[in-house]
Structure 1
Amino acid sequence: MNKWMRASERWRWLTGGAVAFSLLAFLLLLALLGWQGLRGFWPQPVTLFTLNQAGAGKVQVLAEVVSSNQVSRQQLEASGASFPANLPDSVTRYLLKTGNRDFAGFDFRTLLSSDIRQRQQPEEVIVLQRRSGGNAYGWFEGLLDGTQPLIARDINTALQQRLQQTREQLGQMADIRLRQMARINMQLDALDQQAEEQRAEHRFDAQQQSIYQADRVELQRQFVRLAARLALLSNETERGALLLRDASGKVQRIPLAQVVAAWYPNAMSTGEKWQHFASQLWHFVHDSPAENQSEGGAFPAIFGTVLMVVLMSLVVMPLGVVAAVWLHEYARRNALTRLVRIAVVNLAGVPSIVYGVFGLGFFVWLIGGTLDQLFFPSTLPNPTFGTPGLLWASLTLALLTLPVVIVATEEGLARIPPTLRQGSLALGATQAETLWHITLPLAVPAMLTGLILAVARAAGETAPLMLVGVVKMAPELPVDAIFPYLHLDRKFMHLGFQIYDLAFQSPNTEADRPLVYATALLLVCIVLGLNLAAMGLRHRLRERYRTLVQ
């Protein structure tokens, strides 16, 4: 007995150590992602370097210091880099973020400490965060309204006011394009479809034709008015520009419509830096991406990820619970049920990309193509549901996570004492009543365990989604104010695919590295939040039915 107790004690310590190690690894992962991702939102000081370059005059570089490391002369020789003959045995190599991609052609450069004659951090240096082209560094020279310089008592305050005005105008333009004009286009399509149906049924008489033409003319008039308003706003935003003098002394004209924010990092106090950090983090979380993933925010990807997981959960939970109840409560122990259980276990081990191929062939091409032929023949050959979209992505992930829910639910049903079922049946309840009032409520914690595992796997999948609905850039969200409000046929953005695109498909991976870590941290936090919500609900239900089990 004592020997068995000692062995049991060792196993408890091993289990506790494994749990502690897993928790520590997860915390270290969060710390790594947070440090590498969130520091990109902190305003870094900008340094003006004066270089030692004989015969080239005074050469200056304006940049942020990204990293530095010690390198030896032998390492430089092995890499084939050029260096002066009087280079010491060990120097510091700096990785600098110079920005001004559209001016200089590159964002980063390396610099040896031996090449630096002087360094300083002027307080007048301004950083411009742009919607395309990356950051711009230089000195603010003034504002332009068209071709005329803008005169103001406080030119920096005027810059912030003009940027705020430009952001409001861009928001109005996006609302006109994505909501108002889109609604009119849908009304025009519905009107044309209704007219085609009336023609096919020989009900398109002179009165119906007059109503159709009047409605169409009115919608076209509204569309033209919105287009004129959009053109006016576009002209107003294109008129504003600022002048930026770079490190080489050249003055560059930058449209205000391309500028997201402007700040003076070398002159900011600690409180101003924290305020800027919060605003940059909020911009990343709630804003939409610009021309590519490296500019703008991640809100469409966040929204698409959460919406897809919710839809997947609504599909997989009923199917998984029904399958588990049939296997455990109703099916007989025969070859068929053994075959079904083997199939469920094997499905859990199928690679996710195989589910993506199956979803593309079965859901998209077969079911979606059939729906288009039956209900949307007027839009063919342009597909409505016969193309990858949110619905097919959710169904594919529901199929992928179905074995997890079935196994977890069946294990929960197996843990319910048989005496509870027997007592209910002895009191006159039917098997269905026993199942509904006794068995299923007690198995809810196990169902939620299956849901937690399913959410954790589905939220991180990327490979199958690339085939059934996820895109790099979606022009609009799957949910809007246009009927039917939830558009299951639309493509959507996903955080997992955004991480893949930023890390492996970006032409400027060094500049996008902080966004890769920030997006990964965001995905982990979303999965953690969804799991914590399900775990809290499971705990409440488990405590609620604890006395019944006892």
Structure 2
Amino acid sequence: MASSSDSNTPRGEAWVWFTGLGLIIGLGMVIGLLSLVFVNGVTVFWAPPVPVAQIDDGRTVIGQLAQRRIRAGSLANAPQYERQYQVGLRELNGNSYLWVDEAKVKAETFPADVLGLERVEHGPAFVRPQALRKSDGKVIPITDPAFESALQAEVSAAVVVREKFEEITRHRIGEVNREMDEARVALRRAEDLKLADEIPVRRRQIDGLEERFVILKAEAQKVVNSGAVATLDSKDAAGRAVVIPLTQIVRAWFPNRLDTWGRTQLFASRLGEFIFHEPREANTEGGLMPAIFGTLVMTVFMSLLVTPFGVITAIYLREYAQNGPILRIVRISVNNLAGVPSIVFGVFGLGFFVYVLGGSIDQLFFSDQLKYNNNTPVFGTGGLLWCSLTLALMTLPVVIVATEEALSAVPRGMREASLASGASKWQTIRDILLPASAPGILTGVILAMARGAGEVAPLMLVGVVKLAPTLPFDTVAPFLHMDRKFMHLGFHVYDLGFQSPDSDAARPMVFATTLLLIALVVTLNIGAIWIRNRLRARFKGAAF
């Protein structure tokens, strides 16, 4: 008699559906997260219309609608909403954002004379302009048809002046300061060693650098004075007079006059600034070029460090090491390293790489810097080199395991054919196994890059900073400065989210930075995947 368990349904089919459901849920979570980051990150650069809201208590609010939510304490069956407006003018209002009960908003209008301003300091501003006082003394009222074009021309001129000033103060004066520090160290060394011939040479060098410094400082002041006259007379929502120097304005636009093409142009301008310019206003505005550059350089250098060590270790474990308890212990240790919290690697990097290895390098090669420059370390402090080494150590197990799997996937016949042809074991590894396993090795490198690029905790201990005055790569020899601290997109997200003095102002930048970090990691991975596919195409007949 057939048992009741007999059925036309294959055994395990319910579990197939269950695992499929898990896949759908997982993909939905990933897509939902990426969609949230994308929408919130992209809309940061879009300029919507700016309303003028009349409140029932007599107040007037001019500001961009930031968000709308259910007010805390309202009933579920009769929710009450509140709106958050970005009103700007933080120096006058005390805060850039204002919450208003939606029920108290009597009316909203979109007048054409509302002007949006992005400023160097104190965040954005939304005002109603009255007149433009040009640098030549001419006054152009808001009623003049030429007001908008004149304002844009003056703002563009002010931007040029500010860029000239920053080029002088940050680059040219910074270079003089660097040379002066080196000359002073050399002078102290000469005086300590009583080098009579070198002392006057160093003093003349310092005098010449001080003269250059004075000249550049005067040139910078001249640049400032040339663009410090033009101002914008305006009024805020309360009718108070607000005078804004144009040297403080980065960008000006009339949000309620823009058409779709105008908003697209403004979007492109903001996006370009975000990618290619430096941050300002405590990193809550401006661009992320130093953080992008630092993340890219660190990730690439980490990959260059971890790949050879991981591949060499995997080759030894797979091809040369004898099976036994020691090999099993090593493999278990490598696998366990992949599960160690990243902050532990950061502590190790700080204690060994920075203090021990970096301190030893300073004692051997930069003793003059320590002795004659107030004991200032060069490699004995956090920097790009130690960050890259720390993350290379953290991602090493990933590359080792992936390389071992790739080597084991090479058909045994290829190995035996090479040995039968008279090739040595090393020649077989070099000419047969490594080329055939290259796609699998690159898979491990891709995984290592993806993990390393997003790490923050260890970097906080071994070299990442909130704001770096210089890039790790520039035109000054030796061009790649491994001792310099740098900015990182992951740390930038952490800093904005948890250390910013204005959390509301930082929120849009958090999403934009997160989107940029994801895009950077995806771009690096796509490049590595493209290389892997090219290599795989050369070995179609092999099984990987």
Matched, 1:246 2:236: yes
CA distance in 2, matches of 1:311, 1:242: 48
Q: Per-residue deviation at 1:358?
A: 0.7
Match of residue 36, structure 2, among 16, 32, 35: 32
CA distance in 2, matches of 1:51, 1:149: 37
Look up the match of 2:66: 66
Give identity over the alignment, percent. 41
Alpha-carbon distance change, 445 to 19 in structure 1, aligned in 2, over 3 angstroms: farther
Q: Per-residue deviation at 1:510?
A: 2.0
Alpha-carbon distance change, 448 to 18 in structure 1, aligned in 2, over 3 angstroms: farther
Secondary structure of 2:381 counterpart: coil
**Within 5 A, what are the aligned runs for 1:295-334?**
295-334=285-324
Look up the match of 1:102: 91
Q: Per-residue deviation at 1:129?
A: 1.0
Look up the match of 2:3: none
CA distance in 2, matches of 1:416, 1:10: 36
What is the identity, as a one-letter code, of the residue corresponding to 2:100? L
Q: Per-residue deviation at 1:105?
A: 0.7
User: Any idea what the Cα deviations from partners look like across 1:455-489, whole Å, max 9, x if unmatched?
Assistant: 11111111111111111111121111111111111
Match of residue 116, structure 1, among 93, 100, 105: 105
User: Any idea what the Cα deviations from partners look like across 1:274-306, whole Å, max 9, x if unmatched?
Assistant: 111111111112111013111111111111111
Secondary structure of 2:286 counterpart: coil
Q: Per-residue deviation at 1:23?
A: 4.5
CA distance in 1, matches of 2:447, 2:129: 53
Which structure 2 residue ranges, 5 or more long, are not aligned?
A: 1-6
Q: Is the 8 A contact 1:38 1:514 kept in 2?
A: no
Q: Per-residue deviation at 1:318?
A: 0.6
Q: Is the 8 A contact 2:127 2:236 kept in 1?
A: yes
Aligned residues: 531
User: Any idea what the Cα deviations from partners look like across 1:54-81, whole Å, max 9, x if unmatched?
Assistant: xxxx532212222334669x628x9xxx
Q: Per-residue deviation at 1:6?
A: 5.3
What is the identity, as a one-letter code, of the residue corresponding to 2:62? L
Q: Per-residue deviation at 1:345?
A: 1.0
Matched, 1:463 2:457: yes
Matched, 1:420 2:414: yes
What is the identity, as a one-letter code, of the residue corresponding to 1:46? V
Look up the match of 1:81: none
Look up the match of 2:474: 480
Look up the match of 2:147: 155
Q: Is the 8 A contact 1:50 1:117 kept in 2?
A: yes
Match of residue 173, structure 1, among 165, 184, 187: 165
CA distance in 1, matches of 2:193, 2:315: 49
What is the identity, as a one-letter code, of the residue corresponding to 2:36? L
- RMSD of the alignment, in Å? 2.9
Look up the match of 1:348: 338
Alpha-carbon distance change, 209 to 120 in structure 1, aligned in 2, over 3 angstroms: same
What is the identity, as a one-letter code, of the residue corresponding to 2:105? I
Secondary structure of 1:547 counterpart: coil
CA distance in 1, matches of 2:368, 2:418: 57
Look up the match of 1:86: none
Matched, 1:357 2:347: yes
Q: Per-residue deviation at 1:505?
A: 1.7
Q: Per-residue deviation at 1:430?
A: 1.2
CA distance in 1, matches of 2:67, 2:182: 58
What is the identity, as a one-letter code, of the residue corresponding to 1:31? S
Q: Per-residue deviation at 1:319?
A: 0.6
Q: Per-residue deviation at 1:264?
A: 0.5
Alpha-carbon distance change, 449 to 63 in structure 1, aligned in 2, over 3 angstroms: same
Q: Is the 8 A contact 1:121 1:266 kept in 2?
A: yes
Q: Which moved more, 1:170-179 or 1:427-436?
A: 170-179
Q: Is the 8 A contact 2:275 2:289 kept in 1?
A: yes
What is the identity, as a one-letter code, of the residue corresponding to 1:63? G
CA distance in 2, matches of 1:70, 1:209: 73
Q: Is the 8 A contact 2:123 2:281 kept in 1?
A: no
CA distance in 2, matches of 1:113, 1:393: 49
Alpha-carbon distance change, 147 to 67 in structure 1, aligned in 2, over 3 angstroms: same
CA distance in 2, matches of 1:5, 1:51: 66
Q: Per-residue deviation at 1:166?
A: 1.9
What is the identity, as a one-letter code, of the residue corresponding to 1:179? H
What is the identity, as a one-letter code, of the residue corresponding to 2:339? G
Alpha-carbon distance change, 217 to 94 in structure 1, aligned in 2, over 3 angstroms: closer
CA distance in 2, matches of 1:237, 1:476: 27
Alpha-carbon distance change, 439 to 49 in structure 1, aligned in 2, over 3 angstroms: same
CA distance in 2, matches of 1:93, 1:194: 64
Q: Which moved more, 1:443-452 or 1:250-259?
A: 250-259
CA distance in 1, matches of 2:120, 2:535: 48
Match of residue 54, structure 2, among 33, 50, 53: 50
Alpha-carbon distance change, 260 to 23 in structure 1, aligned in 2, over 3 angstroms: same
Match of residue 247, structure 2, among 257, 279, 282: 257
User: Any idea what the Cα deviations from partners look like across 1:340-380, whole Å, max 9, x if unmatched?
Assistant: 11110111111001111111111111111111122112222
What is the identity, as a one-letter code, of the residue corresponding to 2:52? L
CA distance in 1, matches of 2:9, 2:522: 37
Secondary structure of 1:46 counterpart: coil
CA distance in 1, matches of 2:508, 2:125: 17
What is the identity, as a one-letter code, of the residue corresponding to 2:61? V
Look up the match of 2:436: 442
Secondary structure of 1:61 counterpart: strand
Matched, 1:75 2:74: yes
Alpha-carbon distance change, 433 to 121 in structure 1, aligned in 2, over 3 angstroms: same
Q: Is the 8 A contact 2:366 2:378 kept in 1?
A: yes
Q: Is the 8 A contact 2:409 2:543 kept in 1?
A: no
CA distance in 2, matches of 1:280, 1:392: 34
Q: Per-residue deviation at 1:439?
A: 0.9
What is the identity, as a one-letter code, of the residue corresponding to 1:312? M
CA distance in 1, matches of 2:11, 2:484: 58
Q: TM-score, normalization: structure 1? A: 0.89
Match of residue 367, structure 2, among 360, 371, 377: 377
